[in-house]
Amino acid sequence: MRGYTVHLLFHLLAMAAGAACGVAGGLWWFGGDPTGLWLAIGALVVGIIVLILENLYISASQPPPYPPPPAVSHPRIPMPPQRPRERTRPDLEPAAPPPETLLQPSMDVSKAVDQETKTAAAEALDEQWTSNPTTKQS
């Protein structure tokens, strides 16, 4: 046990203060000496102070209950780019979608529908709405 000698010294001082308090208290109790009462009170106060100091010493010598937070965080080191792995299982390649599956248009600008096609589609929808009034919603 680290610091055991200091711990033992505190106990010995507390026991000496307790013995002095007992002797002085006995002088006052059995002899009627008023000085004995003051000596007993003084020895009691010294014993309490010694025990408080012992408690402070023990709590100061203990490690903290949790590790302290790091003072400065280190910047993250970027990982080098990795090459794509070679496929080892051709049976896990993505399958082509069935023909009845509708695919969403690509978000790639180079593959986007041109303005002329959009205009033609809008005109076709307008024509459908004007030719068939039963499909209009009110």
pTM, to two decimals: 0.43
Classify burial at 42, counting beta carbons within 10 Å of its beta carbon; exposed 0-12, middle 13-18, buried 19 or more.
Answer: middle
| pLDDT (0 to 100) of residue 22 | 92
CA–CA dist 75, 15 (Å, integer): 57
* pLDDT level of residue 113 (50, 70, 90 thresholds): low
Tens digit of each residue's pLDDT (9 = 90 or more) over 51-81: 898 888 888 877 777 776 667 766 777 777 7
CA 22 vs CA 7, 25, 48, 115, 129: distances in Å = 23, 5, 14, 106, 111
Please write the tens of the pLDDT for every residue from 35-46: 888 999 999 999
> For residues 16 and 23, what is the distance between their CA atoms, to the nearest angstrom?
11
Structure tokens at 112: 């986007």
Query: 38 vs 20, 35, 60, 77, 107, CA distance in Å?
Result: 11, 5, 33, 71, 94
Residue-averaged pLDDT of the chain: 78
More confident residue, 81 or 133: 81
pLDDT at 44: 92
Query: What does the pLDDT read at residue 31?
Result: 87
